[in-house]
């Protein structure tokens, strides 16, 4: 009787080893997954981390990137903006907002249209909240390949940089710390779609798509 009682007690004392082994297995799988990625997808990393936290600690983990994606989506929906005006997506670095050039700027101009400021102002207020203070905001201006040459904008490089800078200046004016912001002009070097067809003829619809400003929101 005494030996059976001792055996039961020993088994009870060793129960923790099973949980410990499960935890080590999950951690090993997690680090193998990280090493197998040539580029770490921030969104996927956050999702995997949340799943591990639930398995190991049995609690929900914070997912600021996913929460910000949801909040921005609600903001754009509330302003009744469609995907041709502002689109919201993500890449392996974080979130990507794309502003249509014709919606926010007059042709050959880098001044934001006054009627289109509300979504950017609300976006700045959201990004300025404490929860998202660790996110970097990188703004890029893009043009099509139609040459421009004016006293203000000698080329598309100046125009695209000025448009990106206009968005950055607005964000700063509404409270964002300048150290979180960058502005860059890409001119026509990063087209989303071809500017011309196979015979070299311009594609006006495609050129309009390529005239845009992108806002990358990435964790620091």
According to the model, what pLDDT value does residue 64 have?
86
Between helices 117-127 and 64-78, what is the axis angle to 10°?
160
Q: Based on the fold, state whether residues 96 and 148 are members of the same structural domain.
A: yes
Q: What is the DSSP letter of 35?
A: H
Provide the domain limits for residue 205.
64-219
Q: Based on the fold, state whether residues 167 and 201 are members of the same structural domain.
A: yes
pTM above 0.85, yes or no: no
According to the model, what pLDDT value does residue 166 have?
98
According to the model, what pLDDT value does residue 139 have?
98
Q: What is the DSSP letter of 137?
A: E
Q: Based on the fold, state whether residues 122 and 207 are members of the same structural domain.
A: yes
According to the model, what pLDDT value does residue 50 have?
47
Q: What is the DSSP letter of 180?
A: G
Q: Based on the fold, state whether residues 141 and 51 are members of the same structural domain.
A: no
Q: Based on the fold, state whether residues 32 and 122 are members of the same structural domain.
A: no
According to the model, what pLDDT value does residue 206 have?
97
1 contacts: CB under 8 Å, gap ≥ 6: none
Q: Based on the fold, state whether residues 133 and 151 are members of the same structural domain.
A: yes
User: In 3D, which of 153, 161, 175 has the Cα closest to residue 213?
Assistant: 161
What is the rounded CA–CA span in Å between residue 34 and residue 32?
5
Token pair for residue 173? 């004016």
Q: For residue 213, what is the domain's CATH number?
A: 3.30.1330.60
According to the model, what pLDDT value does residue 52 have?
45
Q: Based on the fold, state whether residues 41 and 75 are members of the same structural domain.
A: no
Tell me how many domains the chain contains.
2
Q: How many CA atoms lie within 13 A of 57 on its CB side?
A: 9
According to the model, what pLDDT value does residue 83 have?
83
pLDDT tens digits, the chain, 220 residues: what are they?
A: 555 545 455 555 556 566 666 776 777 667 666 655 555 455 444 444 444 444 445 445 568 889 999 999 999 998 888 888 999 999 989 999 999 999 999 999 999 999 999 999 999 999 999 999 999 999 999 999 999 999 999 999 999 999 999 999 999 999 999 999 999 999 999 999 999 999 999 999 999 999 999 999 999 8
Q: Based on the fold, state whether residues 79 and 167 are members of the same structural domain.
A: yes
According to the model, what pLDDT value does residue 1 have?
54
């Amino acid at each position: 009787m005494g030996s059976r009682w001792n055996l039961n007690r020993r088994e009870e004392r060793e129960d923790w080893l099973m949980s410990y082994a499960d935890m080590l297995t999950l951690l090993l799988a997690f680090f193998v997954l990280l090493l197998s990625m040539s580029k770490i997808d921030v969104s996927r990393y956050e999702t995997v981390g949340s799943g591990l936290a639930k398995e190991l600690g049995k609690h929900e983990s914070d997912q600021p990137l996913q929460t910000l994606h949801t909040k921005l989506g609600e903001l754009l929906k509330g302003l009744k903006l469609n995907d041709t005006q502002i689109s919201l997506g993500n890449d392996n670095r974080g979130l990507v907002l794309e502003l249509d050039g014709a919606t926010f700027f007059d042709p050959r101009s880098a001044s934001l249209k006054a009627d289109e400021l509300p979504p950017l102002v609300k976006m700045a207020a959201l990004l300025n909240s404490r929860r998202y203070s660790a996110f970097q905001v990188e703004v890029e201006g893009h043009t099509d390949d139609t040459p421009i040459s004016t006293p203000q904008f000698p080329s598309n490089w100046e125009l695209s940089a000025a448009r990106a800078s206009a968005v950055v200046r607005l964000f700063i004016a509404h409270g964002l710390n300048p150290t979180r912001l960058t502005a860059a002009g890409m001119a026509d070097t990063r087209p989303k779609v071809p500017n011309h067809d196979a015979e070299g003829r311009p594609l006006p619809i495609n050129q309009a798509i390529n005239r845009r400003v992108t806002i990358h929101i990435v964790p620091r």
